[in-house]
A and B are shown apart, each in its own frame.
Chain A
Amino acid sequence: MTDRAPASHDQPTFRLSMLIYDKRYRSLTFQVIVLILVMSLVWWLINNTLTNLANLGKDINFRFLFTRAGYDIPQQLIPYNNDDTHLRAAIIGLLNTLLVSFLGCIAATIIGVAAGVLRLSKNWLFARLMTVYVEIFRNIPLLLWILIIFAVLTEITPTPRAYRGEDGLDMVFGVIAPTNRYTAIPAIVAEHSPGVLQIGRLAIPWLSIIFIGLLIAAVLIRRWLLARAQRIQEETGRRPTTWWITLALFVVPPVALWFLFGLYLEVPELTGFNFSGGINLDNAFVALWLALSLYTGAFIAEIVRAGILAVNKGQTEAAYALGLRPNRTMNLVILPQALRVIVPPLISQYLNLTKNSSLAIAVGYMDLRGTLGGTTANQTGRELESILLMMLIYLAISLTISGVMNIYNNRVRLKER
């Protein structure tokens, strides 16, 4: 160390103190130190966990997933009963999580975009109302919103048996019955049903498959129509009218189905303790969905507002100068440019909404947290395994959402050529 004889003229000898005092090595030194510290912390934690589990006489074991669950779940998207495994119960919970998150993201986007645009409106009343909405929802914790909406749904609405008898309550429009457990709504059923597609225990009505197929076809045809209209406009300067074809695309198939299969509304009917026929929308689900949508919608409104404000005012003025109406200016000029600002924070909001759906525990909605992380973990005593699995699943969902939205972001972002 004290030997000062240089090995060469331009390369001074390496000394240990250079690790700290030499700029070239310093950053590396600190990174190595931090890495070692972090790794030892992780090692300590894992080791501690394993030691403690061993002391408790427990092991890490995922076999409990394949044993009988034994409990029932209120809302099931695929068939399930208490003889099924904990794994299937977890999947039921996962599907419930995905359902409420997916519908929540859609509703939050619609609410958010509308509120964001309206908040910038010149209409004083609309703008102020939206400000009030955004500020109220943004500044009160989500859990409270879920509880408030759930309390309103259960405390204000009547019990199902209030609809019984001659002097019972009337259903809304004669078909909808809000109760303190669920809202009973009519279902669409076919007189001449084309049957169901049986995949294992899952039965999907052919009618829904046909309907969804027609819907997708309609969307694709509309897309092609618009592209064609655009091409013709560019070639000849005249845009062919497309609105009636679009309208027909979305109206004709349902009407055709209506006649072909003899569709009718099955009105829910009070039999015994509860309504049957029709669909019972659980209050827990509705409360969670509404609260998540309204809460996240408020944040999305702010993102949309920021995005619009980020577009130079000159763009609007230029669009007006070309004779575009405000409506088309917003749709064709402002929003497309605002999207590149809006989409990245929007991804975060979708992720937040999905993760926040685990607050379902407050209203007893059986999502992934309620099944795998709640009853299963509790009945089997496998908390560690359940929590690890839940973390992995939520991580996978979040990364998927993030990935898909990033693809979309790449498509709408400013392209520099």
Chain B
Amino acid sequence: MKTFVFFGAAATAATLASAGFGAEGDTLAEVKARDELNCGVNPGLVGFASPDANGNWTGFDISLCKAVAAAVLGDSSKVRYVPLTGQTRFTGLSSGEVDLLARNSTWTFSRDTDLTLDFAGINYYDGQGFMVPRELGVSSAKELDGATICIQTGTTTELNLADYFSANNMSYQPVNIESNAEGEQQYMAGACDAYTTDASGLAATRAAFANPQDHVILPEIISKEPLGPVVRHGDNNWGDIVRWTLYALIAAEEYGVTSANIEELSKSSENPEVQRLLGITGDLGAMIGLDNEWAKRAIMAGGNYGEIFAATIGEQTPIGLARGLNAQWTQGGLMYAMPFR
């Protein structure tokens, strides 16, 4: 028996052998040496991350990968997208397979601490909801007692679902699925009465249906799901780069810096904070190991936060999400970039 434990440990060790390399090392130096950013993304959630017919990835999360690549490598196309499921995402990150995880991941205590990951910020404030076919005649999640519900395993939504139903003294039958695509297929086949995931994910999934109006997203939001990019714990400089790239996008919207007027503003802006952000004055880039135009390139990659939102998941897109909580703090939302000084 003992020998087998050894070999067990040995085999697992082999898979982990590459792990330490990424975790230990300097991610910025590695990315620069590789001249490519490995970005972990959702394997397919329209609006957030999905490949088109030509294999080009687009979406809200993809834009963040591009912004980081532009800031670090000077070229927003130098990204290798690694599709990771709910089950494989954190292993993929901690094993060094990806440098950055931009994949609708909820910031929770145990992920931040026990999983030894760092959340670099929030790019979407979300909450968990339910979607049901309209013909079912259900108008509230409270009416779902006894229902069969499709749920992605290994997610926070799985735990919230269990809590919500026991708190409301209701029962349900879970159907465990691996990815959003599988959930969509099972839900459409009628193998489950309701599909639950983050409300933004539901909207994105519904937008991809042939007849979106046949499906209702129920009003109950049963949890807080702050979604954001994740990096490994320990490489603080890399964490800073991702965090401040995200803040640069958010701050750019607040100060009215868009991909259209950025060239002009970088010559003429009177606002000292904009000047620091765009690298005209100050030395912010050097403080995180980049040049001074890093933020300018990040914003030029896909526009500021508001532009990205509008282009990928906003009300003018098929996904049709309102800004809601994700509006700027000046507009009554929660988006708030820390000061650039």
Contacts and interface: CB of A to CB of B under 8 A. Distances in A.
Interface of A: 41-42, 45-46, 48-49, 51-53, 55-58, 70-74, 81-83, 154-155, 159, 161, 180-181, 271-274, 276, 283, 361, 364, 366, 370, 374-375, 378-381, 383-384, 387-388, 391-392, 395
Contact of B16 (A361, A366, A384): A384
18 contacts: A41-B10, A46-B6, A49-B12, A52-B20, A57-B116, A72-B162, A81-B166, A154-B189, A154-B191, A181-B173, A181-B191, A272-B147, A361-B178, A364-B153, A375-B176, A379-B158, A383-B91, A388-B5
Contact of A73 (B5, B174, B186, B233): B174
Interface of B: 1, 4-14, 16-17, 19-20, 23-24, 86-87, 90-91, 94, 110-111, 114-116, 136, 144-148, 153-154, 158-159, 161-163, 166, 172-178, 186, 189-193, 232-234
A416 to B, nearest CB: 33
Contacts of B91: 383
A378 B153 contact: yes
Contacts of B153: 71, 364, 370, 374-375, 378
A71 B192 CA distance: 17
A283 B20 CA distance: 42
A20 B255 CA distance: 79
Nearest to A361: B178
Contacts of A155: 189
Contacts of B116: 56-58
B9 A57 contact: no
A48 B161 CA distance: 39
A108 to B, nearest CB: 26
A155 to B, nearest CB: 6
Contact of A72 (B11, B147, B174): B174
B92 to A, nearest CB: 11
A75 to B, nearest CB: 10
Contact of A82 (B23, B145, B162, B233): B162
B175 A375 contact: no
B176 A272 contact: no
Contacts of B175: 74, 181, 364
Contact of A378 (B23, B86, B233): B86
Contact of A55 (B9, B20, B148): B20
Nearest to A364: B176
Contacts of B189: 154-155, 180
A58 B176 CA distance: 28
A274 to B, nearest CB: 6
A82 B159 CA distance: 9
B13 A49 contact: yes
Contacts of B114: 380-381
Contacts of B176: 74, 364, 366, 370, 374-375
Contacts of B190: 159, 180
Contact of B172 (A41, A56, A72, A161): A72
A280 to B, nearest CB: 8
A379 B186 CA distance: 23
A54 to B, nearest CB: 9
Contact of B20 (A48, A71, A364): A48
Contacts of B90: 378, 381
Given A273-B146, A378-B87, A388-B8, A56 B20 contact: yes
A161 B192 CA distance: 11
Given A57-B233, A71-B158, A364-B175, A381 B115 contact: yes
B10 A55 contact: no
B190 to A, nearest CB: 4
Nearest to A73: B174
B173 A46 contact: no
A41 B158 CA distance: 40
A273 B9 CA distance: 46
Given A56-B233, A74-B173, A383-B91, 6 more contacts: A51-B20, A57-B116, A71-B153, A274-B147, A381-B111, A391-B11
A357 B6 CA distance: 24
Q: Give the secondary structure class of A's interface.
A: helix
A71 B90 CA distance: 19
A49 B16 contact: yes
A322 B25 CA distance: 82
A299 B82 CA distance: 39
A191 to B, nearest CB: 26
A283 B190 CA distance: 13
A274 B310 CA distance: 41
Contacts of A364: 153, 175-178
Given A46-B9, A70-B162, A273-B148, A57 B234 contact: yes
Contacts of A154: 186, 189, 191
A388 B4 CA distance: 10
A272 B145 contact: yes
Contact of A53 (B10, B16, B177, B233): B16
A73 B24 CA distance: 37
A358 to B, nearest CB: 14
Contacts of A48: 13, 16-17, 20
- Max chain A Cβ within 10 angstroms of own Cβ: one of B91, B148, B175: B148
A96 B12 CA distance: 25
Nearest to B161: A72
A273 B173 CA distance: 10
B191 A374 contact: no
A322 B178 CA distance: 62
Contacts of B158: 70-71, 375, 379
Contacts of A46: 6, 9-10, 13
Contacts of A395: 1, 4
Contacts of A72: 161-162, 172, 174
A276 B174 CA distance: 16
A121 to B, nearest CB: 41
Contacts of A379: 154, 158-159
A274 B159 contact: no
A49 B9 contact: yes
A82 B163 CA distance: 8
A65 to B, nearest CB: 14
A290 B148 CA distance: 23
A41 B9 CA distance: 12
A403 to B, nearest CB: 13
Nearest to B24: A55
A181 B148 contact: yes
B217 to A, nearest CB: 18
A370 B159 CA distance: 15
Nearest to B6: A42
Nearest to B160: A70
A10 B232 CA distance: 69
- Max chain A Cβ within 10 angstroms of own Cβ: one of B17, B114, B115, B176: B176
